[in-house]
Amino acid sequence: MTSTQGVQTILHPVTDLEKAKPVYAALLGVEPVADSPYYVGFEAAGQQIGLVPNSDMTAPVAHWHVTDIEDRIKAIVEAGGTLKQPPRDVSNGRLVALVTDPDGNVLGLLQDPS
């Protein structure tokens, strides 16, 4: 079984990027490194903090970085978790997926291209 590389990305659902962007810039003390109509990303203290508009997320989701997303999903489902959103390519081979634990807590998985 592959191991995780830890939580390195936290995505926050927002309704208005233009209003949220300066709040997170003030919180983190940095300007965005990615700024588009569908995603604004910051890098601070080794973490990637993303703002996602028009999302079905209802709360921030921590994304665990993994080396093999399919293997990790299989292990989680076999252990009693549930696949919520299968892996999808969000940009240049970066895969994200969502699973839930038995209590319904959402866990994000993220695999960067090799």
The 8-class DSSP code of residue 65 comes to E
Domains and CATH numbers, the chain: 4-111 (3.10.180.10)
pLDDT in tens, 25-68: 999 999 999 999 999 999 998 999 999 998 888 899 999 999 99
pLDDT in tens, 72-104: 999 999 999 999 999 999 888 999 999 999 999
Q: Could you tell me the pTM of the whole model?
A: 0.86
8 A C-beta contact, residue 106 and residue 61: yes
Q: Tokens standing for 89?
A: 């390519």
